[in-house]
Structure 1
Amino acid sequence: MTSTAPAGTTPLITDPAQAQRRVLRVLVASQVLSGAGLAAGVTVGALLAQDMLGTTALAGLPSALLTAGSALAAVTVGRISQARGRRPGLAAGYLTGAIGSAGVIAAAVLDSPVLLFLALFVYGAGTATNLQARYAGADLAAPGHRARAVSTVLVATTLGGVAGPNLAAPTGTFAEHLGIPNLAGPFMLSGAAYTLAALVLALWLRPDPLLMARTLAEAEEDDTSTAPVTTATTATDSASADGLVGVVIGALVMVLSQLVMVAIMTMTPVHMRDHGHGTAASGLVIAIHIGAMYLPSPLTGWLVDRYGRMKIAASCGITLLASGVLAAAAPGDSIALLALALALLGIGWNFGLVSGTAIITDTVPLATRAKTQGLVDVSIAIAGATGGMTSGIMVAATSYPALALTGGFLSLSLLPAVAATAYRR
C-alpha cells in the first residue's frame, strides 16, 4: 500500500524507537518555550481586563475568550495535522498565538477593550497548540508507554510555565521603559516564546510522528492482509464500540478537569488583589499552580500505565474536590494556603489530562486520530471558556469561596461515570 504522506515529508529515520526519541526531544524544546508564553498571559489577562473595564464581573471574560479562541484553533490544528502532519499543524498554531500576543500589546497601548478581546481570542491558539503537542508525543509510542510519552511532553511545559508568571513583574517594568502599559509586558514574552516554539517545530520535528505512525500502520496492515474476513470484521466492530466509549469517557474526564481548573485559577489573582496582594504574589501562586499542572507528569504517566486509566481518572475528581475545599477555607491573606490549594488544583488537572489523553489515544484509529483529538480539545476549550466566563460573574454575585466549593463538588461527578465505564469493561 502506498503511503499517504505528502511529498517532501518522508521520514529520514526508519527505526520507530529512534524516531520517537528524536520527536520527544524536539517536542520538549518547543514546550519549554511555549510554556512561558502560555503562563505569562494567564497571570495578567484578568487583571488587564479589570483595569480597562473597571469591574470584576467581566474579569473572567479574557479567560473565556482565550479558551474560545483555543477551541477554534484546536479544530484547525487538528485538521492541518490530519492532512499534512503534526509539524505544520503545531507550528501554525504557535505562530497564531504570537500574533495574538502582539494584538494584546497594541490593545493595551491604545486602551481598546474591543481590540483586547479580539486579540485574546487569537492568542488562545497558543493554548490549544500547547495541549495538542501532547498527542504528537504518543503517536509513535508503544501502547504500554503512551501515558509516559504524553507526560514527557507535558512536563517540559513546567520550566517555561513556572518562569512565565515570575517574569510578570520584570517584563512589566521593561514594558514601561518602552512606553507600554505594565500589564502588557508578559505578552511581549508570550509573543517571543510562541514564535521560537514554532521555529523549533518547523525546523526540527522530522520525521513527522503522525505521518510515520501511519506509514508503519499501513505496512503492518499489508502484512496481515491475509487474515480471515470474519475475524477482521468482528475485531473492527468491537474496536468501534470500545472507541466510542473511550472517546466519551476520555473527553468527559478532560472537560470537567478543565472547567473546574480554569474557573478557580482565573479568579485567584483577582481574589488575591482584593485582599491586598500585588502582581508578584499572584504570579508566585500561579507559577506554583502551573508547576503542579505539569511537573507531576512523569509520575502520573507511570501511574496511568501501571495502574490503569480509570483509577487515575477517579483520583482526578477527588484531588479537585480537595483543592476546592481548601481554596474556599483559606483566609484571603494566606498566600501559603492559596498556593497549596492551587497546587492541588494543578495536580488534579494533570491526573485528568494524562489519563484522558491516554484513553483517547488508545481507542481512536490512526486514520481519524488527529481530527478526533482536535474535536475533543474543542470540548475542553469550550469547558474552559465556560469556566472562565462564569467565574467572574459568580464571584461578583457570591464570593470566591463559593466558586471554589462549587468547582470542587462538581468534579465529583467524574466518579460515577468512571466507575460505570470500568464496570462495563
Structure 2
Amino acid sequence: MSGAVPAPARVSALASRGGPQRRIVAILALATVLGGLGVGASLSAGALLIVDVTGNDALSGFGSTMNAVGAAIAGIPLARLAARRGRRIALASGNGIAVLGALAIIAAAAVQLPPLLFAGLGVLGVASAVQLQSRFAAADLAVPEHRARDLSLVVWSITVGAVIGPNLITPGAVVGRALGLPELAGIFVFTIAAQLAAGLVVWFGLRPDPLLEARRIAAAASDAPVSAHSSPSPSPGRMTAAASRTPQFLAIALIALAHATMVGIMAMTPLHITHHGGSITLVGITISLHIAGMYALSPLFGLAAGRLGAVPVVLGGFAVLGLAALGTGFGGESMLVVQLALVLLGIGWSMVTVAGSALLTEVTPLAARPRRQGQSDTAMNAAGAIFGAASGAIFAAGGFGVLSGIAGGFIVLGAVAAVLLRRARPAPAERTH
C-alpha cells in the first residue's frame, strides 16, 4: 500500500517507544498531581475570596467561570507553542504563567482590588489548560492500543489535587496570617509552590520531549528529515487517509458537548440541594462523589477504549450522561437520586473525555495534532463556561427539570456526533505514531 511503513521500520519505531513512554507518563502524572493541588485549592477558595474582596455573594460563581475562561483562552496558544517547541516548553511555560496568576490574586486580596482578583483568577486558569494538554502529551508516543490507557492515567492523577486541594484552606489561613496576608490568600501560596514544582518536574523530567520524539520516529520510519521545530510531511497515503477533517471536528464537538452538560448540571446542584432543605455538608459530600466519578475510574475507561474501541466507550458515556440528566430532571426532593445522578454525571463525563481525547488523537495526523488538541481544549472550556454561566438563569426560570432537559439535548447531539464520526472516520492515518 502506498505510504505504508515497512515492517522492520514499524517494529523498530514501536520498540523505541516503550521505555521512554512509561517514564513520560509517570512524569506527566506527577506534574499533574502537583499542579492539581494548586488548582483544587484555588477553586475551593476562589469563591470565598471573591465575596471577601467584593462583599457581593452574587459574584461568587465568577471564580470557576474565570478559571474556565482562562483555560479556554490558553488552550490554542499553548498548543501552538507545543507544535513549535515541544510539550516540555509549552507545559512548563503554562505552569509559570499560572504562578503569575496566583501572585496577582494574592496582591488583589491584600489591596482589596476586585478587577485584579478576577484577572488573576483568569490567568490562573492556565493551570487547568496545562492539565488538559498533559493528557494529550501522554498520547504522543503511545502505541494505538495503549493510547487511551496512557492518557487516562494522567486524567486520573487530577483526582489527588481535586481531593486534597480544597482541604488546604485551613493551613493556608495559617500561612496567610504568618505572612501578613488575608487568611483566604494564604492558600494561593501553596498554589505558587505547587505550580513551580510541577513546572520543574516537567522541565527536567520530560526528556525526551514526547511530541518531538514522536516526530523523530515518524521521520525515521518514512526516511524523511525532521528538525526540532518542524513536523514531518505525511506520505501521500497518509494524506489521503487524513484528507477529511470532519472526524476531527466531530471529536472536538462531542468532547465539548459532554463538558458543557457536566458543568451546567453540576453548577446548579448545590442550589437544588439547599432549596430542598439539604445542608452545606450534604452539598460537599455530593460534589465530592461527583469528582470521584469524574476521575477515579478513568483508567478503566482508558483500558475499555483500547480493547473495545473509542467510539463505543464514547456512546456509552453519553448513555450514562443521559441517565444522570434523567436523575436530576426527575429526582425532585430525593437527595439520594440527585447524588446518584451526580456520580453518573462524573462517570459519563470521564468516559467521553478519555475516549474522545484518544479518538481525536487517532483521527488527526501527527503534524496537525497540537493544533486540533488546542482547539478541543478551548472549545471544551468555552462550552463549559457558557453553559455554566447560563445555567443560573435557566435554573431560576425553570428549575432542575428545564436545565436537565437542555442538557439532554446536548447529550443527544453528542451521541449523534459520535455516530457520524464512526461513519466518517477514515482508517487510522498512521499506526506507528
Shorter-chain TM-score bucket reads 0.7 to 0.9
The aligned counterpart of 1:27 is 28
Paired with 2:253 and 2:68, the residues of 1 have a C-alpha distance of 17
The aligned counterpart of 1:233 is 236
Query: What pairs up with 1:147-226 in 2 under 5 angstroms?
Result: 147-172=148-173, 175=176, 180-222=181-223
Q: Kindly indicate whether the alpha-carbon contact (under 8 Å) linking 2:175 and 2:187 is maintained by their aligned counterparts in 1.
A: no
Query: Residue 124 of structure 1 aligns to which amino acid in structure 2?
Result: G
Alpha-carbon distance change, 152 to 84 in structure 1, aligned in 2, over 3 angstroms: same
Query: What pairs up with 1:197-346 in 2 under 5 angstroms?
Result: 197-222=198-223, 233=236, 235-241=238-244, 244-269=245-270, 277-278=279-280, 282-330=283-331, 334=335, 337-346=337-346
For residues 258-312 of structure 1, give each alpha carbon's deviation from its aligned partner in whole angstroms, at most 9, with x where no partner exists: 112222333444555665644x654444333223212111110111111111111
Q: Kindly indicate whether the alpha-carbon contact (under 8 Å) linking 1:78 and 1:374 is maintained by their aligned counterparts in 2.
A: yes
Aligned partner of residue 243 in structure 2, secondary structure:
helix
CA deviation after TM superposition for structure 1 residue 218, in Å = 0.3
Paired with 1:32 and 1:350, the residues of 2 have a C-alpha distance of 17
Q: Kindly indicate whether the alpha-carbon contact (under 8 Å) linking 1:168 and 1:283 is maintained by their aligned counterparts in 2.
A: no
Q: Kindly indicate whether the alpha-carbon contact (under 8 Å) linking 1:136 and 1:210 is maintained by their aligned counterparts in 2.
A: yes
Alpha-carbon distance change, 18 to 234 in structure 1, aligned in 2, over 3 angstroms: closer
The aligned counterpart of 2:231 is none
CA deviation after TM superposition for structure 1 residue 256, in Å = 0.6
CA deviation after TM superposition for structure 1 residue 88, in Å = 0.8
CA deviation after TM superposition for structure 1 residue 174, in Å = 5.3
Task: Indicate yes or no: 2:370 matched with 1:367.
Answer: no
Alpha-carbon distance change, 44 to 398 in structure 1, aligned in 2, over 3 angstroms: farther
The aligned counterpart of 1:410 is 410
Q: TM-score, normalised by structure 1?
A: 0.85
Aligned partner of residue 220 in structure 2, secondary structure:
helix
Alpha-carbon distance change, 416 to 172 in structure 1, aligned in 2, over 3 angstroms: same
For residues 184-227 of structure 1, give each alpha carbon's deviation from its aligned partner in whole angstroms, at most 9, with x where no partner exists: 45434333222211111111111111111110000011189xxx
CA deviation after TM superposition for structure 1 residue 324, in Å = 2.8
Alpha-carbon distance change, 94 to 265 in structure 1, aligned in 2, over 3 angstroms: farther
Q: Kindly tell me the number of residue pairs found equivalent between the two proteins.
A: 401
Paired with 2:274 and 2:47, the residues of 1 have a C-alpha distance of 11
Q: Kindly indicate whether the alpha-carbon contact (under 8 Å) linking 1:164 and 1:287 is maintained by their aligned counterparts in 2.
A: no
Q: Kindly indicate whether the alpha-carbon contact (under 8 Å) linking 1:64 and 1:387 is maintained by their aligned counterparts in 2.
A: no
Q: Kindly indicate whether the alpha-carbon contact (under 8 Å) linking 1:166 and 1:283 is maintained by their aligned counterparts in 2.
A: no
Alpha-carbon distance change, 273 to 246 in structure 1, aligned in 2, over 3 angstroms: same
The aligned counterpart of 1:113 is 114
The aligned counterpart of 1:227 is none
Paired with 1:401 and 1:328, the residues of 2 have a C-alpha distance of 4
Q: TM-score, normalised by structure 2?
A: 0.83
Alpha-carbon distance change, 232 to 221 in structure 1, aligned in 2, over 3 angstroms: closer
Unpaired runs of at least 5, structure 2: 1-14, 226-233, 426-433
Aligned partner of residue 369 in structure 2, secondary structure:
helix
Aligned partner of residue 167 in structure 1, secondary structure:
helix
The aligned counterpart of 1:8 is none
Q: Kindly indicate whether the alpha-carbon contact (under 8 Å) linking 1:71 and 1:128 is maintained by their aligned counterparts in 2.
A: yes
Match of 1:54 among 53, 56, 63: 56
CA deviation after TM superposition for structure 1 residue 332, in Å = 6.8
Q: Kindly indicate whether the alpha-carbon contact (under 8 Å) linking 1:324 and 1:406 is maintained by their aligned counterparts in 2.
A: no
Alpha-carbon distance change, 387 to 37 in structure 1, aligned in 2, over 3 angstroms: farther
Aligned partner of residue 222 in structure 1, secondary structure:
coil
Query: Residue 372 of structure 2 aligns to which amino acid in structure 1?
Result: T
Query: Residue 418 of structure 2 aligns to which amino acid in structure 1?
Result: V
For residues 90-113 of structure 1, give each alpha carbon's deviation from its aligned partner in whole angstroms, at most 9, with x where no partner exists: 011112122212322333333332
Paired with 1:273 and 1:418, the residues of 2 have a C-alpha distance of 36
Alpha-carbon distance change, 277 to 106 in structure 1, aligned in 2, over 3 angstroms: farther
Alpha-carbon distance change, 388 to 361 in structure 1, aligned in 2, over 3 angstroms: same
CA deviation after TM superposition for structure 1 residue 382, in Å = 1.2
Query: What pairs up with 1:346-361 in 2 under 5 angstroms?
Result: 346-361=346-361
Larger mean CA deviation between 313-322 and 325-334 belongs to 325-334
Alpha-carbon distance change, 212 to 419 in structure 1, aligned in 2, over 3 angstroms: same
Aligned Cα root-mean-square deviation (Å): 2.8
Larger mean CA deviation between 285-294 and 76-85 belongs to 285-294
CA deviation after TM superposition for structure 1 residue 119, in Å = 0.9
Query: Residue 237 of structure 1 aligns to which amino acid in structure 2?
Result: T
Task: Indicate yes or no: 2:61 matched with 1:40.
Answer: no
Q: Kindly indicate whether the alpha-carbon contact (under 8 Å) linking 1:27 and 1:153 is maintained by their aligned counterparts in 2.
A: yes
CA deviation after TM superposition for structure 1 residue 172, in Å = 4.6
Q: Kindly indicate whether the alpha-carbon contact (under 8 Å) linking 1:32 and 1:156 is maintained by their aligned counterparts in 2.
A: yes
Identical counterparts, % of pairs = 36
For residues 356-406 of structure 1, give each alpha carbon's deviation from its aligned partner in whole angstroms, at most 9, with x where no partner exists: 111111122222221221122111121122123222333344445543443
CA deviation after TM superposition for structure 1 residue 321, in Å = 2.3
CA deviation after TM superposition for structure 1 residue 320, in Å = 1.7
Paired with 2:90 and 2:155, the residues of 1 have a C-alpha distance of 18
Query: Residue 222 of structure 1 aligns to which amino acid in structure 2?
Result: D
The aligned counterpart of 2:228 is none
The aligned counterpart of 1:81 is 82
The aligned counterpart of 1:379 is 379
Unpaired runs of at least 5, structure 1: 1-13, 225-230
Larger mean CA deviation between 137-146 and 281-290 belongs to 281-290
Paired with 2:179 and 2:268, the residues of 1 have a C-alpha distance of 29
Alpha-carbon distance change, 194 to 339 in structure 1, aligned in 2, over 3 angstroms: farther
Paired with 1:293 and 1:64, the residues of 2 have a C-alpha distance of 19
Paired with 2:329 and 2:47, the residues of 1 have a C-alpha distance of 20
